[in-house]
């Protein structure tokens, strides 16, 4: 499908206070918009593909379990972070936030 209308972008609450709208995807790539209420959390998880996230609005705390220990930092509107494949990560929304996330689905 070359064009995806807003009506074809389903929304789902994936965690308490976290809503995902799938913007589009193909065989090797997926992109989604997330809306987070202040204080909402995405619990620790991993996936076999890398993730790139840009914060459009708000501020979040990101915790990534790397090979050489834990990395923790804050990201705010206009900033981007990358999670390598198979790295455990989690986040906490310090303010109401919106992100655009993209995943390479190729392991």
Reported confidence tier of residue 26, pLDDT bands at 50, 70, 90: confident
pTM here is 0.89
Q: Which CATH superfamily is domain 9-104 in?
A: Jelly Rolls (2.60.120.10)
Q: Is 52 exposed, middle or buried (0-12, 13-18, 19+ CB in 10 A)?
A: middle
Reported confidence tier of residue 68, pLDDT bands at 50, 70, 90: confident
Mean of the per-residue pLDDT values of the chain: 93
The torsion defined by the Cα of 65, 73, 11 and 96, in degrees rounded to 10, comes to 150
Give residue 23's pLDDT: 92
Reported confidence tier of residue 67, pLDDT bands at 50, 70, 90: confident
The torsion defined by the Cα of 2, 79, 97 and 38, in degrees rounded to 10, comes to 150
* Domain-wise residue ranges, the chain: 9-104
């Amino acid at each position: 499908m070359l064009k995806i209308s807003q009506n074809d972008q389903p929304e789902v609450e994936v965690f308490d206070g976290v809503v995902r709208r799938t913007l589009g995807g193909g065989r090797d790539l997926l992109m989604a918009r997330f809306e987070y209420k202040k204080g909402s959390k995405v619990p620790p998880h991993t996936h076999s593909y890398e993730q790139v996230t840009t914060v459009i609005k708000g501020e979040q705390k990101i915790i990534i379990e790397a090979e050489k220990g834990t990395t923790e930092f804050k990201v705010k509107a206009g900033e981007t972070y990358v999670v390598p494949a198979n790295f455990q990560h989690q986040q906490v929304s310090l303010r109401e936030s919106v992100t655009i996330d993209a995943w390479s689905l190729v392991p």
